[in-house]
Structure 1
Amino acid sequence: MHKSLATSSKPLAAHVAFAFAALAAAGAPAAVHAQSSVTLYGIIDEGINYTSNVQTGPGQGHSQYNLSSGILSGSRWGLRGNEDLGGGIKAIFVLESGFDVNSGKMGQGSLLFGRQAYVGVSSPYGTVTLGRQYDPVVDYIHPLMPSAMFSGSIGAHPGDLDNLNNTNRVNNAVKYRTASYGGLTAEGMYSFGGVPGSMAGNQIYSLGAGYARGPLTVGVGYLNARNPNASFFGTAVGATAATNNFGSSPVINGYASAHSEEIISAGATYVIGAATLGGIYSNTKFKHLSGAVSPLNPAGVGGTASFNSAEVNLQYQLTPALSFGAAYNYTDGGDANHAKYQQGSLSADYIVSKRTDFYLIGVLQHASGTDSTGRAARASLNGLTPASGNQQATVRFAIRHKF
């Protein structure tokens, strides 16, 4: 009996196996159709700095040696991925976290994914993304900046007053980027302010376009931020609208009461053999300052504070492994404060492997006039403690590793 039952069960098992195989075959195209990938990536940038003049008290300054993280490239780790939805359409995402190598703490105001956090859809007609993102001015001008190419954040424009070094990201943002048409692309972005009863309250909008073909790369951009102390600068953990979120740089931290901030910028690079020539221009306006003395406006400045900043730069690839860079920037604060900043930078970078390089950067800044706080302008290299006087220099030697 048992033998008969065992014998009769073989055809049944064969039928069941065939049924599962048929179902698997039917599902195979869908499995291939929905291919996806996730990539873990990151950069560690760490080095030692010497700074000639760091303010330690009223009118007092001393030189300083210290370790610092993320100067030429922000130290970071991230995840990026995509899923093929068919027809050339993909679901995409990026989660990216900045950190300080020396302390292990999170960057960008202690936010977990402070550098970027977005999800979206890409297609042959363009890409739509939603979340915390770079604005179009940063997307098109920042890659052309010496601070992105060779001088690092310490070589950015004073106080990063035009955000071309990407100090501030944009929350609650929807962004559309076109496909490339003969090297031409464009972007538009809108950030919801989230203020009940006011569509314009705390909103940010930005437009940008770029052209890259052959030796020429060009970018232009515009950004408008309402109540920038809260919407643009105030995204750190613990920040409030009542606190001054403009940072420690006296170049701009006296203008936190501005009703709005406008940035217009353009840049270009042109490659000639081993040399890359570049130029950047920006106009930044902090508009409708309150005029009342407060933590947001210590000098009681009213009206509009406007800065014009122009920069020229040269990068030269001496060998496949060794490159040099030089840049000069002039920033004029105009009638609001008569502040002027002149800044020069030099650099060298040596690639020792596919993922590791060593670099040397030197930056010197000289200030004159009156700064945003109503006092004699002090030199203030971006990201460093301001000087006690009108001149500050720094030299950095570092290692950068990408994974």
Structure 2
Amino acid sequence: MNKNILAVLGGTALAFTGAGASAQQVTLYGEMDASVDYVSDVGGRTQYRAGSGLVDGSFWGLQGTEDLGGGNAAIFRLERGFSATSGEAFNDHPFYVGLQSKRLGTITLGRQYDTMHDYFAPFTLTGGAGGTAFAHPFDNDNANNSWLASNAVKYASATYGGFSAGAMYAFSNEAGRFAQNRAYGFGVHYEGGPFSAGVAWMHINGRGASSVGAYDTSVLPGAGLVPTEVAVQREDTIGAGMSYALGDVTLGAAWSRSIHTGVSEADGGAPLPSIAFSNYEVNALWQVTPAFSLAGMYAYTGATSAHWHQGALQAGYQLSKRTDVYTEAIYQRASSGALAMINTCDPSGGRNQVLVAAGIRHRF
């Protein structure tokens, strides 16, 4: 079958058309994010570093849609992350294939963001303008989507009267061990005028117990509250958030709780104490001018044996439609006996840690 291929680079769209077939559109897109960072305390020493992905992460992607008629379409998405400073590749972006209906919703299969990302994270600053470094300690609620679900089947409804909902199930892929390293969850979103709200829940069995399952191991406080890579037998996370737009200012609030039981070291399997986190956040975004924005947040995280305070500010300036520069400052203070560890940073040598950064992003 003859096909006409139109490639438009810089946009970048590839349109494929064949006789007797529906049109297909494939888009190449991505982002480069690089910064220069100062970290006040890493293991008791000051650190100056070249950073990558401090806000959104650097990545490239392909996204495609084929019109099936009647408001239906076949879709796919393939993304890969990388470090703009070292070239290292990261498996931290989604890839899936699915079917989409304007009336019935969308179903997708592949490695995907979970319901905490879809329905809760947008009401936190880490899931919005702030980005990666604004995550709650250890990203314990996955608001910064540090972990994606493999083997996932996800459904997202259409919007009815401002309400939409979704659910996800991620298979363990283990023969005879159906519930080992599997996950499931759901979420609901409402939007009406200036007000938005969302709630989400995720449950994971045997996290990190197998290499073919739903989730990789996570990082939690280990012995002496030192960050440790762990497997978790049971993990439950729930989150709720809301936002309200007052002209150029959007105010937000978010709460989440994550409970981790049956915790063990990923290397060696030594048992560790169970731990639960409660996160409370308030944030604001001010679009000062069409090109200049300010964002800030305060978050308190209380855990079983420690707590953390975190405050952060970010300023961004849009140089063009695709390029912007930013600067941000984050301060975290841990309780006595715990270590401060801002997301993207190594643990401090004490209770306090400050990150100050300036960077540039370009989207294509």
Please state how far the C-alpha of 1:229 moved relative to its aligned partner: 2.5
Match of 1:364 in 2: 331
Q: Do structure 1's residue 389 and structure 2's residue 350 form an aligned pair? A: yes
- Counterpart Cα distance in 2 of 1:234 and 1:31: 42
Distance 1:138 1:296, change over 3 A: farther
Q: Do structure 1's residue 49 and structure 2's residue 37 form an aligned pair? A: yes
Q: Is the 8 A contact 2:183 2:214 kept in 1?
A: no
- Counterpart Cα distance in 2 of 1:133 and 1:346: 30
Match of 1:242 in 2: none
Q: Do structure 1's residue 333 and structure 2's residue 316 form an aligned pair? A: no
Which protein has the bigger helix share? 1
Q: Is the 8 A contact 2:180 2:209 kept in 1?
A: no
Match of 2:183 in 1: 204
Larger Rg: 1
- Written as runs of structure 1 = structure 2, the 5 A alignment for 1:50-89 is 50-55=38-43, 61-89=44-72
Q: Is the 8 A contact 1:35 1:83 kept in 2?
A: yes
Please state how far the C-alpha of 1:149 moved relative to its aligned partner: 2.7
Is there any run of 5+ residues in structure 1 with no aligned partner, and where? 1-28, 56-60, 109-113, 240-244, 370-375
Please state how far the C-alpha of 1:31 moved relative to its aligned partner: 3.9
The equivalent position to 1:151 in structure 2, one of 121, 124, 130, is 130
The equivalent position to 2:315 in structure 1, one of 332, 348, 352, is 348
SS at match of 1:49: strand
Distance 1:363 1:222, change over 3 A: same
Match of 1:120 in 2: 98
Distance 1:232 1:212, change over 3 A: farther
- Counterpart Cα distance in 2 of 1:392 and 1:234: 35
Match of 1:22 in 2: none
SS at match of 2:90: coil
The equivalent position to 1:267 in structure 2, one of 237, 241, 244, is 241
More displaced 10-residue stretch of structure 1: 135-144 or 358-367: 135-144
The equivalent position to 1:319 in structure 2, one of 289, 310, 314, is 289
Q: Is the 8 A contact 1:248 1:385 kept in 2?
A: no
Q: Is the 8 A contact 1:78 1:95 kept in 2?
A: yes
- Written as runs of structure 1 = structure 2, the 5 A alignment for 1:1-400 is 31=19, 34-55=22-43, 61-108=44-91, 114-123=92-101, 124-230=103-209, 245-247=217-219, 253-254=227-228, 256-289=230-263, 295=267, 300-302=271-273, 304-334=274-304, 338-369=305-336, 376-400=337-361
Please state how far the C-alpha of 1:234 moved relative to its aligned partner: 8.1
Q: Give the TM-score normalised by structure 1.
A: 0.80
- For these two proteins, the number of residue pairs brought into alignment is 345
- Counterpart Cα distance in 2 of 1:318 and 1:233: 47
Alignment RMSD, CA only? 2.4
Amino acid of the residue matched to residue 41 of structure 1? Y
Q: Give the TM-score normalised by structure 2.
A: 0.89
Please state how far the C-alpha of 1:328 moved relative to its aligned partner: 0.4
- Counterpart Cα distance in 2 of 1:380 and 1:296: 24
Q: Is the 8 A contact 1:262 1:284 kept in 2?
A: yes
Amino acid of the residue matched to residue 81 of structure 1? G
Amino acid of the residue matched to residue 51 of structure 2? S
- Counterpart Cα distance in 2 of 1:234 and 1:345: 35
Distance 1:199 1:384, change over 3 A: same
Is there any run of 5+ residues in structure 2 with no aligned partner, and where? 1-16
- Counterpart Cα distance in 2 of 1:48 and 1:247: 25
Please state how far the C-alpha of 1:156 moved relative to its aligned partner: 0.7
Q: Is the 8 A contact 1:119 1:130 kept in 2?
A: yes
Q: Is the 8 A contact 1:170 1:232 kept in 2?
A: no
Q: Is the 8 A contact 2:139 2:146 kept in 1?
A: yes
Distance 1:322 1:296, change over 3 A: farther
SS at match of 1:259: strand
Please state how far the C-alpha of 1:311 moved relative to its aligned partner: 0.4
Q: Is the 8 A contact 2:294 2:313 kept in 1?
A: yes
Identity fraction in percent: 39
- Counterpart Cα distance in 2 of 1:254 and 1:213: 42
- Counterpart Cα distance in 2 of 1:38 and 1:307: 42
